[in-house]
Structure 1
Amino acid sequence: MSLDQTVGWGPKKPAQRMSGAQRREEILVAARTVFAERGYAASTDEVARAAGVSQPYVVRLFGTKRELFLEAYKVASAEILTALSSVPAGPDAARRMGDAYIGLLADRDLLRLVMHGFIAGADEEVGRVARHTLGEAFRLFQERSGEDEQAARVFVAQGMLINVLLAVDAPAHVGEDAGLDGLVQCVQDDIAERRTA
């Protein structure tokens, strides 16, 4: 090995350029984080900074902030439905769908972005995606578990309750409000029971 190679001198390898698809994906990941934190009030400039690109580049790829938010929201909603769809029909499908949803809790940005989509649901396209996601979760639960509408409604309602508790960061504020403490404990007990069942 030459001295140049030992100390790192000499010709450097050119940096790998990202493809347009890779850069687009990187921007969507940044958009998820920024919109999860700031909601629809976030700007394309904030997303661009988080992704390490210029704001005009974000606009060139996605158009308006609304289109960027909608795309990030569609991706997040599709991830939820993919997780639920991956559970095959059968006698333990209800538990497994609960586990699939609980598995999504690791990505707090995913669930917070979904909550911001419900708030931004006044936008017709965002609202359409939100309504479809709720309806599909309900339908998939019934279809895969074979349980009735009441059980499917409880499944969707429980998921929404978890989303709300995470959106307000309830677990980090135990001790502030006795009622909320009880609600958080109830949900945590239900999740623990599902995991041991």
Structure 2
Amino acid sequence: MTKATSTSINRQKEIISAAIEVFAEMGYYRATTAKVAERANISQPYVFRFFATKEALLIEALKVSFARIIDSFHRVIHSVSSERLEQELIAAYSQIMVEYRNEILLQMQAQTIHEDVVVNVMQQGFREIHAAVYDAFRQAGIEQALERTMLFLARGMLCNISMSLDLPELMKIND
């Protein structure tokens, strides 16, 4: 890889990171590529060098956020015992929520965007997460793996709501 290619890849990652922040803070419809460029300390035309449209930038940001979850889950799945699987997946997701809060907020907002390409990316991301968790639960011999997968994902969504609304009491399990 040449230095120019490496710099270009790094710049693209910086633009995506800036977009995630801006979209999460302002919402996709209010955010502008000018604001993304400002956050990335570059010119707006430079954003368009990598992404033809704001929607293309959103798609890439969503793909990055889903890949982070999938990669994290796969690391857990391939490194823990069956007995610790669910707890370690919860811990991995909790860590993502802390370190990459804006990515979770971005995904939550994207659920309300009804553009076909965005819906398709969201569906694919959730399908991959569902498949990874279900396959891991099933291979670990967890009883009612499909139901446990659904509950795991539902709890994750509740965690997202709890985080976004700053309502930690939604997550209390002890009376």
- TM-score bucket of the superposed structures, by smaller chain: 0.7 to 0.9
| Deviations 1:81-130, CA, capped at 9 Å, x for gaps | 1111212262321111111111111121111011122122x121221121
Q: Secondary structure at the match of 2:111?
A: helix
Q: Which of 60, 70, 77 does residue 71 from structure 1 map onto?
A: 60
Contact 1:118 1:127 (C-alpha < 8 Å) held by counterparts: yes
Which residue number in structure 1 is paired with residue 102 of structure 2? Answer: 109
Aligned partners of 2:172, 2:66: CA distance in 1, in Å?
24
Q: Kindly, what percent of the aligned residue pairs are identical?
A: 29
Which residue number in structure 2 is paired with residue 57 of structure 1? Answer: 46
Residue 165 in 1 paired to residue 162 in 2? yes
Aligned partners of 1:115, 1:186: CA distance in 2, in Å?
17
Q: Which has the larger radius of gyration?
A: 1
Instruction: State the AA in 1 paired with 2:171.
Output: V
Residue 25 in 1 paired to residue 9 in 2? no
Aligned partners of 2:51, 2:170: CA distance in 1, in Å?
42
Which residue number in structure 1 is paired with residue 134 of structure 2? Answer: 142
Displacement of 1:56 in angstroms is 1.0
Count the aligned residue pairs. 161
Q: Which of 74, 83, 99 does residue 91 from structure 1 map onto?
A: 83
Q: Secondary structure at the match of 1:40?
A: coil
Instruction: State the AA in 2 paired with 1:77.
Output: F
Aligned partners of 1:126, 1:94: CA distance in 2, in Å?
29
Which residue number in structure 2 is paired with residue 37 of structure 1? Answer: 25
Instruction: State the AA in 2 paired with 1:22.
Output: N
Displacement of 1:159 in angstroms is 0.6
Normalising by the residue count of structure 1, what TM-score does the alignment of the two structures yield?
0.75
Which residue number in structure 1 is paired with residue 36 of structure 2? Answer: 47
Contact 1:27 1:48 (C-alpha < 8 Å) held by counterparts: yes
Which residue number in structure 2 is paired with residue 13 of structure 1? Answer: none
Instruction: State the AA in 2 paired with 1:53.
Output: I
Aligned-residue Cα RMSD (Å) equals 2.0
| Deviations 1:69-90, CA, capped at 9 Å, x for gaps | 1111111111111111212262
Q: Secondary structure at the match of 1:91?
A: helix
Where do 5+ consecutive residues of structure 2 fail to align? Answer: none
Instruction: State the AA in 2 paired with 1:185.
Output: E
Aligned partners of 1:51, 1:20: CA distance in 2, in Å?
13
